[in-house]
Structure 1
């Protein structure tokens, strides 16, 4: 018996060693950056095939755009155990075919970053899904931009080792298993899990707190140090506590990381602002020049959206998402749920938890309706989603955040009405999460039937008619169910932007910012006596030209009614100073208002239940 146990122990040890070698090991060197490029070495698992292809993603989940991350890779080489180069053929922009692959030991290559070339026309990669390489300063490691996968080996475990300067710290929702100050080691179960975990290296500036058993990490990179993690954490903590309270028992992750990169928009830096969701984290890019009040307000909307992705697609998703093909993807029919339900929750929770008023919620919904009608309102939403990478559907992508959220709202209303306020779309998502969960994907073409079975026949009819059909949604009918009707409402405007979009200012041949000639001034301009053709030279002591006009627009978003303001202008060739107080313009727009008190209880169940 002892001999048997001893032999079994040896067998298990050998088997364990064999299993340990049956993974993909990646080394990323952030210490020895050469010519703004990072060296990556990938140790291959045992390969039996004579040829194999190594892929860098063409597309990643959450972006729904072809970005060709392989175009940022150069110097790709493959080696056998003696260090001899194997023959490599670049098959396309994102893949390399390796001959004699049964002898392959490792591949190596260099990676360029995307931030340096944003706005140059060389690519259109959205900044939060891009990469940054600034030696000894900052590295945004969206892992799909640095690490690829061998064909057919994407389900193998990965071990990622990152060598970095001791002065930089890696913020991520992964766990570093190495105690060294210059080496981090992360292990994940498969390639999609690695792609799902970004890392940001910078000088440590982070905070942590716990919400209902979930550990939250907020890490900030601010080039000048103008914004700190400590400064934004109180607002973020209030928001995330409200989100967790809203979600209730849905708790798919124990750790969540917010990685905030603040960009110097005037330099060779990130210029696309927003966020990209991940299962247990989000990467956020914003301009550092944005006033703090505006930054916090924007983060509240952007980060809350990304956080709600822990419901879908994390807990509820199709096979197209679970087994995502990064180079020849098949898209799911259900962007209305992945993005639409998520965006709806990002607005609903704020009125539910008292962060915004009912009036502001209705204004937001009204804005979504007006914007969504700029798209083809008869477009079959499931067909659009399935073909989102192709025209004409590609150009309708932004509508998933607009009409997608409105679809979710109407389902919510249908369920509230049918259940006398007791059930809504949040309870539906909880039921779907229990049935499927992160490891059990559904079949794309079966979701509507399952939702109908879990809810009510009228929900199934809605999905058939308005989501899988080509009939525009009669929003007024759905609002009427909740005692809400159309009304003209007033909303605050921006001193320099009509309807938050159309500029009141332009730039002359000398690079000066001028108020558009022959324009009817808004309340801000008439209050200060500004006229069309006036050149704005400075505001409150800060000089402005075409070089920093963006900063002026950002600063104006934080101005408050009645605050003192001093401008230096040039009119008819002469400089003059204007002193006064800010008067914010007010715009009248079509919106919605609660009018039927008989529906008050049902409306409260919808918005506050």
Structure 2
């Protein structure tokens, strides 16, 4: 469990843990990096007289779905403390059992890794990008033990080590227990580092930004100035930074062509990966992931759902609070950029429409409320399935759903008396559940809102928007801060499904034009009102002759046979959000208090 007690041990009893407890020791080297392999040795000593059970995790901190890391492990061998070979058996696809040892077991194995993101590991001649659950076996029944890991870096490639683990030797690092180890991604590469110190009450906290990229030092300098603005802006929201366990926080950024785009929060660090270089738009675009992941040091890492404690490495981790943990974090992502001056108020406001339209127009609200949408995480959070699903109709991302609810709560609070804001509410939640590291439930958040804004307000918000799937009155909420919220695209057509050319490429949206016409994914238009569609026909020009609510005769092809149906074009129901130029002084003040720098 990520309890405050465990991490107090890190700072208070570090020396005691290091020298008085038996530690599990790992060594990893990368001689065959060009073929994406790492060689790993693990030594487990002072074992009980029973079978040693070694596992590869099936989950990774920050992810909620299953990931079969064991598939990338091979050449597993074991010897005892005298070097005698031991028999290794497989209890299940994820576990290796070793018996008849002498109290010490030395295991060696090969890891294949070639995905650089927030979950997997990637080993090549550019770097060793290591997510710990995807890299190291762990010993069941010995999760409480301290862990030492030695990284044998490639000196010929000028590799250096960046990690939240505590450095104890030249290339050796320490974790107080398995949970901290699993939560500590490590970037080994020829990267550059920038650091600055933040005043945090009576303490000073060090913020490091380690960047592995193919760009220039000047680009990193420019980008790091933006990172600093993000950190300081979010510090003001909560009034303080958390007490990082070793006094430092480290961004682990890989902006390289062979990475996969991702962001993944951890207790005192975060992984940031992108194929987009700083020179190729990354200076402006990548910073959003920085803002999202850093906000997580409060919201999810320390303000933590009870459903994620303790984190389970053998089963999917399901939580009904992700609309708050991920969604409210998503709300603050662009808001942080706006307050930090990294995007304009106009840019921020106009971006709101995308998320609002996605949630507002989705039939998914007919099936699941935000809590139940959060329960879908094990099926969608980097999870894969080979069978088709109907998520276009049944699922709304808890990131976006929670974000638009965070927006509604913020504006609703600002319409109350006594200067209520979402910032103030998040500070209260931080004080009660984050700083104390007491895991929360959905009801705890509701009760916290009762204390902050009153029982009537809190109960109404939760009953309508959290326990049910109603939508707030955004038009009224936006008007209080001088923002228009209008449907101004009604003259545009809506087909009610995604198309590839003239072929339906997604399940039709329930209630949309394609759905009402009885179309299905894979159906291909042949003609409309006897106008034949050919390979030269351009969709934009062809559909441009029709109008919303117009009904036409459609001939389409399904499974090689032609069928006929009547098709009624729908109108685009999307909203736009825009700053109003003519506003009252009160609206202007409210908007600036909301979006302005703090």
- Bin for the TM-score computed over the shorter chain: 0.7 to 0.9
Q: What's the counterpart of residue 324 of structure 1?
A: 311
Q: What's the counterpart of residue 132 of structure 1?
A: 122
Quick one: distance in 2 between partners of 1:434 and 1:459? 19
Q: Name the stretch that deviates more: 364-373 or 219-228.
A: 219-228
TM-score, normalization: structure 1? 0.71
Q: What's the counterpart of residue 110 of structure 2?
A: 110
Q: Does 1:359 align with 2:375?
A: no
TM-score, normalization: structure 2? 0.73
Q: What's the counterpart of residue 467 of structure 1?
A: 466
User: Runs of 5+ in structure 2 lacking a partner?
Assistant: 1-14, 381-388, 490-497, 502-535, 542-573
Within 5 A, what are the aligned runs for 1:395-414? 399-414=397-412
Q: 1:190-248: per-residue Cα shift (whole Å, max 9, x none)?
A: 22211222121112422222333332222222357699533532333343333334443
Q: 1:446-489: per-residue Cα shift (whole Å, max 9, x none)?
A: 42343234322212321232112233444334334545331478
Q: What's the counterpart of residue 256 of structure 1?
A: 249
Contact 1:26 1:43 in 2 (8 A): yes
Relative to 1, partners in 2 of residues 1:161 and 1:602: Cα closer, same or farther, differing over 3 Å? same
Q: What's the counterpart of residue 494 of structure 1?
A: none
Q: What's the counterpart of residue 281 of structure 1?
A: 269
SS in structure 1 at match of 2:273: strand
**How far apart are 1:309 and its partner, in Å?**
0.5
Q: What's the counterpart of residue 432 of structure 1?
A: 429
**How far apart are 1:16 and its partner, in Å?**
6.3
Relative to 1, partners in 2 of residues 1:201 and 1:330: Cα closer, same or farther, differing over 3 Å? closer
SS in structure 1 at match of 2:469: coil
SS in structure 2 at match of 1:279: coil
Q: What's the counterpart of residue 135 of structure 2?
A: 146
Contact 1:332 1:444 in 2 (8 A): no
The total of aligned residue pairs comes to: 487
Quick one: distance in 1 between partners of 2:430 and 2:18? 36
Contact 1:489 1:592 in 2 (8 A): no
Contact 1:175 1:186 in 2 (8 A): yes
**How far apart are 1:18 and its partner, in Å?**
10
Quick one: distance in 2 between partners of 1:141 and 1:346? 26
Q: What's the counterpart of residue 224 of structure 2?
A: 233
**How far apart are 1:393 and its partner, in Å?**
10
Contact 2:355 2:404 in 1 (8 A): yes
SS in structure 2 at match of 1:432: helix
Q: What's the counterpart of residue 79 of structure 1?
A: 79
The one of 364, 373, 387 aligned to 1:384: 373
User: Runs of 5+ in structure 1 lacking a partner?
Assistant: 1-14, 116-125, 491-500, 505-515, 522-587
Quick one: distance in 2 between partners of 1:19 and 1:28? 22
Q: What's the counterpart of residue 152 of structure 2?
A: 163
Q: 1:126-180: per-residue Cα shift (whole Å, max 9, x none)?
A: 8332211114x311112222123222332322112111123211122334221x3
Q: 1:402-436: per-residue Cα shift (whole Å, max 9, x none)?
A: 1111111122223222244x232222222222222
Relative to 1, partners in 2 of residues 1:227 and 1:596: Cα closer, same or farther, differing over 3 Å? closer
SS in structure 1 at match of 2:98: strand
Within 5 A, what are the aligned runs for 1:405-554? 405-420=403-418, 422-437=419-434, 440-444=437-441, 446-455=443-452, 456-457=454-455, 458-487=457-486, 518=538
Q: What's the counterpart of residue 350 of structure 1?
A: 337
Q: What's the counterpart of residue 63 of structure 2?
A: 63
